[in-house]
Amino acid sequence: MINKLINTVDNHYLTNKKKDLKYIISKEELIDIIGIEQTLDLLNIIETSYPERGITGKDLKLNINIRRIEPDINKAQHFHLDCQQRKSKIMQIPLNKHIGGKTIYALNDGAIIPERNIGDIYIHTDEIVHGVTELKEGTRYSLFIQYYIQDNTRSSEQNKVIKEIGSSLDIANHYLSLNNNDSDKAIEQYYNDK
């Protein structure tokens, strides 16, 4: 399964030589690559994760890509939120070993840097601030599966607080409500409370 995913994105790389290549595929293409049983197992895992986020229903959208990243001098992905105007949950499956390129999750009680073992499944929501360390050696291959619902209800103030303090939407809303929706004051109070 893993070699087929890597070969698929490498074949696309031959005609599109980007150092950071996201090769978008359909559910049907994923079935062709890894088989129906494994595809349905992966989709079931992500569909049933984080039920409290309400990312279900007829408006649910699916995005699948195989990502291929080559080392680039001093290039790390700074802390960010995925899909700021969408409710989403993102599954990442590492497909190979490399040096660097570790995902860092910024949580309320500190940072977590999980081991990236081949075939492990990592799932996070659009509310989890994360970044990636510099890829030092080797090409980093990952399979990403994302379910999302368009969500234009999050304000720029909410996004700013979530990104700055690495919090959930609930915590951001708490501090914004205490500070008349002023994101700078909400961030300042959050740090003062810690």
Distant-in-sequence, close-in-space partners of 3: CB < 8 Å, separation ≥ 6: none
pLDDT at 160 over 70: yes
pLDDT at 150 over 80: no
Residue the block writes with tokens 């081991």: 115
User: CA-to-CA distance for 96 and 117, rounded, in angstroms?
Assistant: 8
pLDDT at 194 over 80: no
pLDDT digits (tens, 9 = 90+) for 32-90: 999 999 999 999 999 888 777 766 666 678 899 999 999 986 688 888 888 666 778 89
Question: Which fold is adopted by the domain 2-152?
Answer: Jelly Rolls (2.60.120)
Radius of gyration of the chain (CA): 18
Give the pair of three-digit tokens for residue 15: 């005609």
Give the pair of three-digit tokens for residue 5: 């995913």
* 3-class DSSP state of 105: strand
